[in-house]
Amino acid sequence: MNAKTLLLSVALLTLAAPAAGRARETVSIKIGHTGTADHHYQMYLEKFADAIADRTRGRYRFTIYPSDLYGRPDALIEGCRSGGTDMVLATGSLLTAHSPKYGVLNLPFLFNNSMEACEILNGPIGREIEESLAESNLIVLGWWENGMRHLFPGRPVGKPEDLAGMRLRVIDTPEMIDTINAFGAVAVPMGFNDVYSAWRRGIIDGCEGTFTHMLTQKYYELTKSAVLLGYMHVPNPLVASKRLWDSIPERDRAIFLEEAAKMSRFSFEFQSGMDERERRRCETLGVLFTRPDRQPFVDAVRPVWDKYRHLHGGMLDRILTAVAELEK
């Protein structure tokens, strides 16, 4: 190799080095969720993060923040919309503020069980809702599960009349507030991580939620009553900011979507088995479950469906039709 060739080779290597370094650069992504560190949200996100890191050979590193340590759900959703935060495992009902079409999922008694919700959300109806959120710069990667919701009142309940005047904490969405009020209780909107202290101080008389909430939030210390109602399903979509999503190469986006879809199915199947285990665990802690006739509660909330039919009527009918097809 003559001197001129040697100098040219060195120059080319020097130019290539920064590009190679950039190709190997690790992208750091922060994800927040409202569950505790031992909540299955954390497990879902860790499995998702590990799968992405493995398939991309470490091109992405995730930091997962439980218990609202990255920010409260509404703030993280707004941050994703504006590009100030990366990702959030969102409390789904809070997305209604960014997509009126999403609000239909806040209505009561849409699904009889979680697996019906899984099929609908991972189908054409789910994709249509995703597209409406994308218009607000919120990119849904997958629909993850949190279980059907029940009532945890301060005393036994067998019919709607038994809830009269009882103050129950709810997620701050109009549809859920109206639903709990229609049952005869008094809906009290409040942040998830404020519930226990508010209950102890007598600000509320109970709440609604999942079996997991009863255990991880230790509601069993505050009440021994639970109503197996399955009155609402609140999904937890994994949401990324458009700013982050646009920065990810297309080949990696496909990996993100594939792994989020796998985790969606896993989460619904996992929750299905976990519900029974958690219910039995609650019973060992002294919680007594009533199993009231669902129909009087369904009848009580028909005015809620009527109130929002002008907003969600078309989508509501499509969901109910799709669910009926699944039950055939």
Q: What pLDDT score was predicted for residue 253?
A: 98
Q: Cβ distance 236 to 200 under 8 Å?
A: no
Q: What pLDDT score was predicted for residue 25?
A: 86
The whole-angstrom separation of Cα 87 and Cα 290 is: 38
Q: What pLDDT score was predicted for residue 10?
A: 42
Instruction: Give the tokens for residue 278.
Output: 């958690």
DSSP string, 51-82: HHHHHTTTSEEEEEE-TTSS--HHHHHHHHHH
Torsion sign over Cα 190, 292, 308, 76: positive
Q: Cβ distance 287 to 165 under 8 Å?
A: no
Q: At what angle do helices 302-327 and 124-134 cross, to 10 degrees?
A: 130
Q: What pLDDT score was predicted for residue 91?
A: 87
Instruction: Give the tokens for residue 44.
Output: 């879902």
**Which amino acid, residue 58?**
G
319 contacts: CB under 8 Å, gap ≥ 6:
104, 110, 120, 125
**Which amino acid, residue 276?**
E
The pairing of beta strand 148-152 with beta strand 206-209: antiparallel
Q: Which domains does the chain have, with CATH numbers?
A: 25-146+234-275 (3.40.190.170), 149-233+280-327 (3.40.190.170)
Q: What pLDDT score was predicted for residue 5?
A: 45
Exposure letters 108-121 (e unless 16+ CB within 10 A, then b): bbbbeebebbbbbb
As a whole number of angstroms, the longest Cα–Cα distance in the chain is 95
Q: Cβ distance 113 to 307 under 8 Å?
A: no
The whole-angstrom separation of Cα 91 and Cα 191 is: 11
Residue keyed to tokens 């005869």: 184
Q: Cβ distance 137 to 83 under 8 Å?
A: yes
Q: What pLDDT score was predicted for residue 24?
A: 57
Torsions phi, psi of 59, nearest 5?
-70, -15
Instruction: Give the tokens for residue 6.
Output: 């040697």
* Polymer length of the chain: 328
pLDDT in tens, the chain (328 residues): 444 444 444 444 444 444 444 445 899 999 999 988 988 899 999 999 999 999 999 999 999 999 999 999 999 999 999 999 999 999 888 899 999 899 999 999 999 999 999 999 999 999 999 999 999 999 999 999 988 999 999 999 999 999 999 999 998 889 999 999 999 999 999 988 899 999 999 999 999 999 989 998 999 999 999 999 999 998 999 999 999 999 999 999 999 999 999 999 999 999 888 999 999 999 999 999 999 999 999 999 999 999 999 999 899 999 999 999 999 8
**Which amino acid, residue 156?**
P
Q: What pLDDT score was predicted for residue 189?
A: 96
> On the CB side of 60, how many CA atoms lie within 13 Å of its CA?
26
Q: Cβ distance 311 to 171 under 8 Å?
A: no
Instruction: Give the tokens for residue 12.
Output: 């080319």
Which of 291, 161, 320 lies closest to 227, judged by CA? 291
